[in-house]
A and B are shown apart, each in its own frame.
Chain A
């Protein structure tokens, strides 16, 4: 690892001043599970690291008054989020997804905000957060900017966070009424691995067996999470038959762009994207129907 100076601001204002002073030579760090690894591998060699651990006021989880959404401070760890009863009650899909990340030890260290700005397309939370329409707040010395999680990711490890900005919170809307969901993670190697393919699906059945709405977002099959809107369009408003579901799932093969690596060839991942999308939709529909019956 290169030599650098570590800064430990206690307020966001101090952090913004440091970002202003050191510009491109500074790197913001939260839990460190991403930044420290990149520095150990010399992929990142900042002269200044700005640790946020002592910045007050960024570790909270609170319901947003009136609309059922939940706001999560950027420094909340994955473990804290997955164990939070408010989140589990309102957003079981979020709880289930965060529990699939790496190991309990990494989840104790890694923060919700840090995970997003890491911009790794293999991560678990982004597909689920995009499927639910979550937004982030990017704060800078000059104000705040709200951005859909969907628009956060630009390329491998590259996000829309601008110089001087820090991701300070994320707001997750409630799961749609009457919907069912699934987050499927294909893990042919080990339980703590990144997915070979992951799929987040939210399906809201309408009247008469019609698909009222559907969201399908895939992870680990492109340089960013892939929101398969073309595939969604093939199912939305259509009867929820096995034929229509299969046609929808098949369409994701045209929008994913996986890499060959030790988790599988690009062709294999493309095929698995279809298989796991189909299963995710089926599971989400099944869950929506079961929930409907218990109400």
Chain B
């Protein structure tokens, strides 16, 4: 059954008429063309589909779009500002945080959520947080280094 919802995605309001069973990841990718968000495992485990819903990390593959009617959604397309990459994105480029790239949008969104909450995490805190984002290229040290570097660069920026 089609239902009307309103989502604010990366600051832009969208009115959508979608089936109640539409998953948020499909709504983003197919209804709105925001294909940056990837679908990996489809069961909320791998982290590839990570977006922020009202600032909180969420798995868009197990989120019904109708269930988050009225929410603010942030996707990978929405974190660069004025043509400048987000510090986490820049750090992933500078420190080899990705190989094939399929997990990267989810990794970046998870890392952004971590730094929003904890601007200077320890290595153990980074590992505990990023444990829910799988990389099948197993590029975990590059990811760890990237997140640590992003934290450090954000710290410089605020000093």
Dominant SS among interface residues on chain A = mixed
B63 touches A36 (CB 8 A): yes
Is A1 at the interface (CB under 8 A from chain B)? yes
B132 touches A40 (CB 8 A): no
**B: number of interface residues (CB 8 Å):** 31
Is B8 at the interface (CB under 8 A from chain A)? no
B4 nearest CB across to chain A (Å) = 11
Interface residue ranges of B38-59 to A (CB < 8 Å): 42-45, 47, 50, 56-59
Decide: A4 near B62, CB < 8 A? Known: A53-B68, A192-B45: no
Is B9 at the interface (CB under 8 A from chain A)? no
Dominant SS among interface residues on chain B = mixed
List residues of chain A with CB within 8 A of the CB of B114.
104
Is A79 at the interface (CB under 8 A from chain B)? yes
Is B110 at the interface (CB under 8 A from chain A)? yes
B67 touches A104 (CB 8 A): no
- Bound-state Cα–Cα, A54 to B64, Å: 14
**A: number of interface residues (CB 8 Å):** 29
A108 touches B62 (CB 8 A): no
B57 touches A105 (CB 8 A): yes
Decide: A37 near B43, CB < 8 A? Known: A103-B131, A104-B57, A105-B110: yes
- Bound-state Cα–Cα, A49 to B22, Å: 13
Is A261 at the interface (CB under 8 A from chain B)? no
Q: Which residue of the partner chain, among A6, A79, A105, contacts B66 with CB atoms under 8 Å?
A: A6
B1 touches A106 (CB 8 A): no
A6 touches B3 (CB 8 A): yes
Decide: A108 near B58, CB < 8 A? Known: A4-B1, A32-B64, A51-B67: yes
